[in-house]
Structure 1
Amino acid sequence: MTTTHAPAPPTATAPSRLRRVAALAGGELRLFLRNRTAVVNSGLLPLLLVAAVPALGIDGELPLGPRLLVAAVGVTLVFVTYYNLVITYVARREELVLQRMRTGELTGLEVLVGTAVPTLLVTLGQVALVAVGVVVLGEWSAPVEFLLPVIALLGGALLMTVLAAASTSFTRSAESAQVTTLPLVVVTSALSGLITPLSVFPEPVALAARLMPVTPVVELLQLGLAGVTWDGDRVDAAGAWAAAPLPLAVLAGWLLIGTVAATRGFRWAPRR
């Protein structure tokens, strides 16, 4: 007598996960495009801030082209990726959208990634647009080390995403995100070297600023695009890598902190 066993339930494959994430991202993108205020804020405001940063800053250590690109990445990561995602995650949570999506096939990670995709696409589009503008202005120059800016952009985008997810734990509503995001948006950005070079601060302040979450992204961009260290020294490709371990370690450390905080603190349902 032979016995038959019920087939094991199929496990989700990578293509099926990608299809689910893509479907969710497509829906989120349609919602985003219907919100004209969000489109204008995400599209126009960062470009204005990018144009203002080199004009208002006192950083003459970077040529105009790299300075614009550093500003583009820093501003869009903070004001588009982080800020918008905090509002989006909280709004979806308070509307019970996240809770409903988790009752289907989507995993928690797929929900978070799919919701973030439109914002990340806007971030990349903004940086690409500024890069095209730098070329048109004739200010483009070959990076000293191409890999460091790529690490800064991708690592910074991932960091802002996990920090946004972590920030929802103490953000009760989309409106209150204007307050809860201030420490990263204002304080850490101001001390990141994005507006004012760290070399103008007393050394203890500069060293403390280098441990903040936005600073390693700016440092890696400056090293890779122009070969300029945090204290204004100019280096070649080998020197850029020699100066990179600290910002790479700080970026990795914040990624770990943000991931742990998001995993433990993210709420899928509103607080009652």
Structure 2
Amino acid sequence: MTTLTAPAAAPTRLRRTLALAGAETRLLLRNRTAVVNSVLLPLLLVAFVPVAGLGGDGPVGPRIAVAAFAVTLVFLTYYNLVTTYVARREELVLQRMRSGELTPGEVLLGTATPTLLVTVAQVLLVLAGTAVIGEWSAPADVVLPLVALVGGMVLMTLLAAASTSFTRTAESAQITTLPLVVLASVTSGVVVPLASFPDQVAQAMRLTPIEPIVELARLGLVGQTWDGRSVDWAGAWAAAPQPLLVLAAWIAVAAVVAPRVFRWAPRR
């Protein structure tokens, strides 16, 4: 009996998660403000980086793409998920879903899926846009940016879940998400290259959550290390272990903390 039911468990979980994701997608599309903020704001912020002469040296197209990774993950993935989780919690939606057949993981993943899909679409849109305007150049490696994007989405989802523990309302997310937004702006290397800081400060910034994502994206898309050195495919992978380890460490810590602090019901 066990052999018959066990294989069916995974497809069942997948169907439940996809059904929830479909419902969340319809809710997102009905909210025009959320759609505009999700689509236009990250694109405007990404476009601001090269226009303002920020983000270091290198070809404009890949620099725009690197900025898209950081801006989209922070301003779209992280912020949207904090507000979504908190709104669903305050409306008692999470509590009701958890009391049914859905597991906690299915609830969180299904709720996050529309935002994660928009994140991927935004990055692909920026990459396509740079090619259309003739600013694209061949990347040094395609695997490292992919790892950066997937790892970044996982980390932002976990950090968003953890951030709901001190976010009482969806409106207050504008305040509670500011620390990560400011940290990302200062330490990611997108706005101010890390090479501009003293070496000890720069090395400390490389241990922050967003910087390894940007560093991996820059290694693959621009062929450039955090301190501005140009590298080829082999050089990109030679420089990749530290950001890979830092990103993995942040994901591991967030995976332990988020389930422990996440609140399924509002405070009364």
Instruction: Tell me, yes or no, if the aligned pair for 2:81 and 2:157 is still in contact at 8 Å.
Output: yes
- 1:250 counterpart = 2:256: no
Q: How far did 1:195 drift?
A: 1.0
**Alignment match of 1:49 (pick from 45, 52, 56):** 45
SS at match of 2:209: coil
Q: Which residue of 1 aligns with 2:175?
A: 179
SS at match of 2:35: helix
Q: Which residue of 1 aligns with 2:15?
A: 19
SS at match of 1:221: helix
SS at match of 1:85: helix
**Alignment match of 2:156 (pick from 156, 160, 170):** 160
Q: Which residue of 2 aligns with 1:204?
A: 200
Deviation by residue 1:81-135 (Cα, 9 ceiling, x = unmatched): 0000000001101110000001111000000000000000111111111111111
Distance across 2 between alignment mates of 1:53 and 1:92: 34
5+ long unaligned stretches in structure 1: 1-6
Distance across 2 between alignment mates of 1:139 and 1:58: 16
Distance across 2 between alignment mates of 1:59 and 1:132: 20
Q: Which residue of 2 aligns with 1:126?
A: 122
Q: Which runs of 4+ in 1 moved over 6 A?
A: none
SS at match of 2:21: helix
Q: How far did 1:188 drift?
A: 2.6
Q: Residue 60 and residue 237 in structure 1: after superposition, are their counterparts in 2 closer, same or farther (change >3 A)? A: same
Q: One-letter code of the match for 1:263? A: P
Distance across 2 between alignment mates of 1:94 and 1:59: 39
The correspondence of residues 129-148 of structure 1 with structure 2, limited to 5 A, is: 129-148=125-144
The correspondence of residues 1-272 of structure 1 with structure 2, limited to 5 A, is: 10=5, 13-272=9-268
Structure number with greater Rg is 1
SS at match of 1:68: helix
Distance across 2 between alignment mates of 1:48 and 1:145: 26
Q: One-letter code of the match for 1:71? A: A
5+ long unaligned stretches in structure 2: none
Of 250-259 and 187-196, deviating more is: 187-196
Deviation by residue 1:190-220 (Cα, 9 ceiling, x = unmatched): 2110111100011121111111100000000
Q: One-letter code of the match for 1:55? A: V
Instruction: Tell me, yes or no, if the aligned pair for 1:102 and 1:111 is still in contact at 8 Å.
Output: yes
Q: One-letter code of the match for 1:22? A: L
**TM-score calculated relative to the size of structure 2:** 0.96
What is the aligned-residue RMSD (CA, Å)? Answer: 1.4
Q: One-letter code of the match for 2:82? A: V
SS at match of 2:54: coil
Q: One-letter code of the match for 1:87? A: T
- Tell me the percent identity: 67
Deviation by residue 1:235-259 (Cα, 9 ceiling, x = unmatched): 1111111111110011001001111
Q: How far did 1:143 drift?
A: 1.1
SS at match of 1:13: helix
Of 226-235 and 181-190, deviating more is: 181-190
Distance across 1 between alignment mates of 2:222 and 2:23: 39
Q: One-letter code of the match for 2:62? A: P
Distance across 2 between alignment mates of 1:47 and 1:188: 17
SS at match of 2:249: helix
